[in-house]
Amino acid sequence: MTGGAGFIGSHLVRRLLAEGHSVDILDNFQTGSRENLSHDVGKIGRLIEQNVADPFSGAYDGIFHLACPASPIHYQTTPLETFRTAVWGTWQVMEACRLSGARVVIASTSEVYGNPLIHPQTEEYFGNVNPVGLRSCYDEGKRGGETVAMDYRRVHGVDARIVRIFNTYGPRMLFNDGRVVSNFCHQALLGNPLTVYGEGTQTRSFCFVSDMVDGLVLAMEKDDFDGPVNLGNPVEYRVIDLARMVLSLSSSPSSIVFKPLPSDDPSRRKPDITKARAILGWEPRIPVEEGLLRTIKEFQDRLGRHGN
């Protein structure tokens, strides 16, 4: 698994180990955390500490490719490295699959749709992406990664499965990753004002990490996979309503402050998961309130251990 020390990756690693699989992890710990793997030390196979954009090889039945900075704070800090990871990293993964005959699940993103002009977003929508904006290193990088995967599938017959991940949240998110759930939970627990951009009327859909892991496993196990496939929660929330929900669930005295919208920030984001239901038999099960409570509890525990 590439990116196995990251937020989603570490949850997926634990799931696969619990099912009795042997798992190697490739991660350079740019945004991943060794603490995320601490409970699984001794169970993991090889830990390959390198950038996924550099060549690697191994005898694998399947590869989950999750490695790439995924939050605006991180990918805008290292835009060239992010684009290289998204495109050339996927190339290296596909080459490893070509040589080993491994099946691969490519973790793409809802950001390939950009600031969408249709709602909800179906897999047939080609997107509305600014190729020269501050987010383009990630948005266009992931689009390029999908191109590499599909061309390896067409040219070399690699069994590549693309899943487009929509907003996912839960325990082990980085406090400072800049995404809305982690920002709100962290700020609320510290008693700091919650930062809402614009008027907070932009919408997002939030999928709890255990549901996302279920979808990724199903994508790997399905024999007949016709992708790309959206994975996300089709229940839509306004950002301002999420902020109020976090304040209530955390019993925080924090206020809400409003700041200007970032460049190219999508106004609406909601997956159409018709294909996920039909192909994988998948849909999210954890309500947002329950997922937020679990996330807030884990954030509290981690703040108690490490501070802010």
Q: What is the mean pLDDT of each run of 10 residues along the chain (308 residues)?
A: 96 96 96 90 92 94 95 87 96 97 97 93 96 94 98 97 97 89 96 94 94 98 93 96 97 95 79 97 97 97 81
State residue 130's pLDDT score: 93
Q: How many CA atoms lie within 13 A of 8 on its CB side?
A: 30
Domain that holds residue 123: 7-306
Catalytic center residues: 138
Tell me the C-alpha distance between 167 and 205, whole Å.
6
Residue 182 phi, psi dihedral angles, 5° rounding: -65, -40
β-pair partners for 26: 2, 48
Buried-exposed string 120-129: b where 16+ CB fall within 10 A, e elsewhere: bbebebebeb
What is the C-alpha to C-alpha distance for residues 107 and 83, in angstroms, rounded to an integer? Answer: 15
Q: Is residue 2 part of a domain?
A: no
Asked, for residue 1, whether it belongs to a domain, the answer is no
Give the separation between CA 272 and CA 211, rounded to whole angstroms. Answer: 16
| Model pLDDT, residue 287 | 96
Q: What is the DSSP letter of 135?
A: T
Sign of the alpha-carbon torsion through 49, 150, 136, 207: negative
CA-to-CA distance for 40 and 37, rounded, in angstroms? 5
Dihedral sign (CA 220, 221, 226, 228): negative
Hey, what amino acid is at 50?
A: Q
Length reported for the chain: 308
User: Looking at the domain assignment, is residue 249 inside a domain?
Assistant: yes
Residue 251 inside a domain? The answer is: yes
- Summarize the chain as % helix, strand, coil (round to 5): 45, 15, 40
Would you state the pLDDT for residue 307? 63
Look at residue 202 and tell me if it is in a domain: yes
Structural domain count, the chain: 1
Does any domain span residue 174?
yes
Which pLDDT score, from 0 to 100, does residue 228 have? 97
193 found inside a domain? yes
Q: Give residue 13's pLDDT.
A: 97
- Looking up residue 247, the CATH number of its domain turns out to be 3.40.50.720
How does pLDDT run across 143-185, given as a tens digit for each residue?
999 999 999 999 999 999 999 999 999 999 998 788 899 999 9
Q: Is residue 22 part of a domain?
A: yes
| Helix H or strand E encompassing 62 | strand 62-65
For strands 160-165 and 229-231, give the pairing: parallel
- Asked whether 231 and 274 are in contact (CB, 8 A), the reply is no
Cβ atoms of 236 and 266 within 8 Å: the answer is no
**168 with 207: CB under 8 angstroms?**
yes
